[in-house]
Amino acid sequence: MNTDIATAEVGIRSGRQASSNSPLERFAPRDQEETSLLRHRIRDLAVAKKAVILAHNYQMGEVQDVADFTGDSLGLALEAQKTDANRIVFCGVRFMAESAKVLNPDKQVLLPNLSAGCSLADSITPESLGDWKERYPDHTVVTYINSSVEVKAMSDVCCTSANAVSVIRSIPNDKILFTPDRNLGRWVARQVPEKEIAIYDGCCPTHDVVRGSSVERVRRAHPDAVVIAHPECREDVLALADEICSTSAMIDRIAKYPDVHTFIVATEWGIVHQMQKRYPDREFVLADGCIGCRLHCPYMKMIDLEMILASLENEVHEITIDPDDMAGARRALERMLAVPRD
């Protein structure tokens, strides 16, 4: 699997000639010397421009390795909130960069590739949320951070996979409208049975395609493995998991099992880069048994070193937020950040 992931990592390069139809081997690899040169130029420019580089755990390994901080959505939002850098280069998807801008209106926030969207965030629009709010007028709206600024501005509070349960427990109202991820919503609802939770019907296609039967097949091949899953997975997958948590917690939880060699990972394959770095003596197997094919988020693989360098050099692509949405989105995000985690 290490070889396959390495192949995948060199497979996606901006502006290079497509060399294969495989989603993971589309572009010719770059040589080591060129990679090292790019890394140095990025790090020098980040210092000169007082920029912090933040990367999500699903980004390509080369992007994670050049970043100042790699983490889950909550960790990245907290870093963005506390940084004293002048600018933030956000290596993730658009909603993450927008959240950083909302929390830092006076800083320059750059997203190296503006096409890096999110299917889950696209599954809820201001109009569809408006319809759901009309159907549930007495409910407090809790919106997953994987959503647009407009949708956040219409919500009472945001949450991430790391704090969704704590956020919902902190709300005095017993009636909650949870948007947009139905799998995360159902998982949270099972843990907070005292609340009446209406759940929107969006999902992350990368997680939602994995089935329990695939995980069972992988587990038959690795009977002693521990299964670690992200709560955006379906219920039948979560029912087989030993640990269910945010991406950073998925990495941390491996330390809980010093005697376990193999871990079955039910989330986007980019996370394995950090897992292998932190625990080089362990084996990580993707839950669908199909490396990088189904558990692959195309949006999370849209940034590479060339784009980060161009982003720093040319100060592109700068995130701006409509002033009408700014105050509401900021209120929802700041309420989330004020909730202590259980």
Q: Which residues in this chain contact ligand 13P in the complex, by CB under 6 A?
A: 57, 72-73, 146, 160-161, 204, 230, 232, 246-247
Nearer to ligand 13P, 57 or 274 (CB): 57
Nearer to ligand 13P by C-beta: 10 or 97? 97
Of 37, 41, 10, 5, give the one whose Cα is nearest residue 25.
10
Closest to ligand 13P by CB, 104 vs 246, is: 246
Residue 102 C-beta: closest distance to ligand 13P, Å: 16
> DSSP label at 232?
T
Rounded to a whole number of angstroms, the minimum distance from the CB of residue 266 to ligand 13P is: 11
Q: CB 146 → ligand 13P: shortest distance, Å?
A: 5
Pick 189 or 204: Cβ nearer ligand 13P: 204
Preceding peptide of 180 cis, ω within 30°: yes
The conformation of residue 181, written as its DSSP 8-state character, comes to B
Cβ contact 103:290 at 8 Å: no
Ramachandran category for residue 131: left, alpha or beta (phi over 0 → left; psi -120 to 50 → alpha): alpha
Q: For residue 17, which amino acid is it?
A: Q
In angstroms, rounded to a whole number, what is the distance separating the alpha carbons of residues 114 and 254? 34
Compute the distance between CA of residue 75 and CA of residue 81 in angstroms, rounded to an integer: 10
Q: How far is the CB of 93 from ligand 13P (least distance, A)?
A: 7
AA identity, residue 271: I
Q: How far is the CB of 73 from ligand 13P (least distance, A)?
A: 3
Identity of the residue, 231 or 289, whose beta carbon is nearer to ligand 13P in the bound complex: 231
Can you tell me the distance from the alpha carbon of 243 to that of 335, in angstroms, rounded to the nearest whole number? 27
Instruction: Name the residue nearer to ligand 13P (CB basis): 140 or 246.
Output: 246
Question: In what order do the strands lie in the sheet containing 157-159?
Answer: 157-159, 140-144, 175-179, 196-199
| Residue located via tokens 């990495």 | 251
Find the shortest distance in angstroms from Cβ 157 to ligand 13P: 16
Q: Do residues 254 and 227 make contact, with C-beta atoms less than 8 angstroms apart?
A: no
Q: What's the closest the beta carbon of residue 129 comes to ligand 13P, in angstroms?
A: 19
Q: Which residue, 10 or 336, has its beta carbon nearer to ligand 13P?
A: 336
Output the smallest distance, CB 269 to ligand 13P, in A. Answer: 12
DSSP string, 67-132: -SEEE-HHHHHHHHHH---SEEEEES-HHHHHHHHHH-TTSEEE-S-TT---HHHHT--HHHHHHH
| Shorter beta-carbon distance to ligand 13P: residue 143 or 161 | 161
